[in-house]
Amino acid sequence: MLKKIASEKNRIYIVLVCILLIVASLVSIVYCINIMLNKWSRTTYDKLNEADKKMLSAVSEYIGQTEGLELNIPIAFVRSYGVFRGSGYLFNHSITEHKGRFGLSAGTFATEILLPDELNLPGMYRLASMEPPLGAFFFPSDYKVVDLYGVETYVICYDESSLNDGTFIALLARALKQQKP
């Protein structure tokens, strides 16, 4: 009788371990796919989706209309899908200095996107949405300051409605007021 109970417990443990391994494998696959898509898809400005282009144009237009204002603070713009967050676009952060983070270079998670000259914006990196330090991006908030690789970085989330109703520009203005002259 005791052997039968022990045998049933062992089967339950084996099934639980198998389920855990399957879930861990699926999470790893999704994680790797996210990194690969960040590196290989939409790597030029003209291939970005319309909302991202609209966001970049809004930033460029706001900075161009405000005399003496430049985008010179570390700032990330993160696409919002309700509770979930998409990729982040990072400005004024030397991401390549941080090799070896989590056993991988930061370049694994970042892809430089070359912007057209008419936008008049500094260099930009698109960050994979599953980068470990970006976990703070997944929690709902339109504006926050996070520590990204040891640098205080302003994070502004945007979606179609915030681009249309002026909320995004108000959050951008708030962040840019924090710049040191």
pLDDT at residue number 103: 36
Instruction: Examine the pLDDT at 73 and tell me if it is beyond 70.
Output: yes
Q: pTM of this prediction?
A: 0.75
Over residues 48-69, mean pLDDT: 88
CA distance 122 to 96: 16
The answer to whether the CB of 75 falls within 8 A of the CB of 174 is no
Q: Identify whether the C-beta of residue 127 lies closer than 8 Å to the C-beta of residue 109.
A: yes
- The per-residue pLDDT for 104 is 38
Residue 172, CA distances (Å) to 60, 111, 114, 116 in order: 11, 23, 21, 21
According to the model, what pLDDT value does residue 107 have?
65
Structure tokens at 138: 């997944």
Query: What is the average per-residue pLDDT within 3-31?
Result: 87
Token couple for 35: 């990194």
Q: How confident is the model at residue 180 (pLDDT cuts 50, 70, 90)?
A: low
Give me the phi and psi of 146, to 5 degrees please: -125, 160
Which residues lie below 8 Å from residue 8, measured CB to CB, with a gap of 6+?
none
